[in-house]
Amino acid sequence: MDTNMIKRIETMELYFDTVASALSRNPKLIDDICIAKMLRRLKEYYSSGQWLCDYEADERGEIPHRIKRGVLSQDGLYNLFDEISEVMEENLPSVILYDRYIEMEKLSLSANREGVKNITMKVGSAIMNMDAVKRCSLSSVIADIEKTCGDKMADLRIEKAENSPWDGLDWSGALYMIVRQLKSKGKLASFSIFTDKTDDAIYNVNEARFNSENDRNMYFWLVRNAAHLGKIKP
């Protein structure tokens, strides 16, 4: 018996039950930081291929019957993620969508798959590199992404520009509006934000960089949606 596999399934089952129970009691619990972390772990488990390996092991009879494993049901996680997506749409935070800019080194197209184009955004500080990094309006960035995608959807990858002291998540307000606009237009397949932050820092509501409750709401909308639509990688 693979003890690591059993421990992993038991952990994921706990996350699965906790999130599903919280959602059934009060949809607003989706805003809870601990629930967001569990969602992130469940999505990583599902999308990494590890869920499929455990599911196939279960089909082969390698998991003892005493182990609770609703998380391995064929539709369990998929339905949970779908329900969470609907809750997020119904409970968008109250934010002010004022004009913003983003300092961007480049927007580039990489490998693509059927129906999706992979778009990489490199964002950073123009103070550090005036030649490479340009200040762009969000409307122009969204228009460029849509033009690059054509009739396909975007798999958006956000990285910090080289030598920039600014982390990708430091642009969370601007990224919130880009992600939300693309999502509302049906142009967003998924997104990834690569960050230098530790896991705890990603979810830290006391960061000094939050200038307002408005910025905090945009930041956590982005983090919560990463649990379903994308990923944030420390």
- DSSP codes of every residue in 82-112: HHHHHHHHHT---------EEEEEEEEEEEE
Maximum separation of any 2 CA atoms in the chain, in Å: 62
Residue 58 tokens, joined: 């279960």
Mapped onto helix, strand or coil, the DSSP state of residue 166 is coil
Contacts of 48 (CB under 8 A, 6+ apart): none
Contact (CB, 8 A) for 77 and 44: no
> How many independent structural domains does the chain possess?
2
Per-residue pLDDT of the chain (234 residues; tens, 9 = 90+): 688 899 999 999 999 999 888 888 887 777 677 887 888 888 888 878 889 899 999 999 999 989 998 999 878 887 887 777 776 666 666 677 776 889 888 888 776 667 889 999 999 886 766 677 888 889 899 999 999 888 889 999 999 888 888 888 888 889 988 998 898 888 988 888 888 888 777 777 677 667 777 888 888 888 777 765 666 665
Range of the domain at 140: 101-233
CATH number of the domain that residue 200 is part of? 3.30.750
Mapped onto helix, strand or coil, the DSSP state of residue 2 is coil
Residues 184, 152 within the same domain: yes
Query: Over the chain, what is the mean pLDDT?
Result: 82
Q: Could you tell me if residue 96 is inside a domain?
A: no
Mapped onto helix, strand or coil, the DSSP state of residue 119 is strand
Number of C-alpha atoms within 13 angstroms, CB side, residue 159? 11
d(CA 137, CA 167): 19
Q: What is the pLDDT of residue 146?
A: 92
Last residue of a domain, one of 71, 90, 109: 90
Q: Could you tell me if residue 95 is inside a domain?
A: no
| Span 81-132, pLDDT tens digits | 777 777 666 666 667 777 688 988 888 877 666 788 999 999 988 676 667 7
d(CA 201, CA 37): 12
Residues 191, 112 within the same domain: yes
Last residue of a domain, one of 90, 119, 134: 90
Q: What is the pLDDT of residue 227?
A: 61
Residue 128: how many other CB atoms lie within 10 Å? 15
Angle at 22 between CA 194 and CA 81, to 5 degrees: 50
Gyration radius from the chain CA atoms: 19
Residue 207 tokens, joined: 């960061």
Q: What is the pLDDT of residue 36?
A: 78
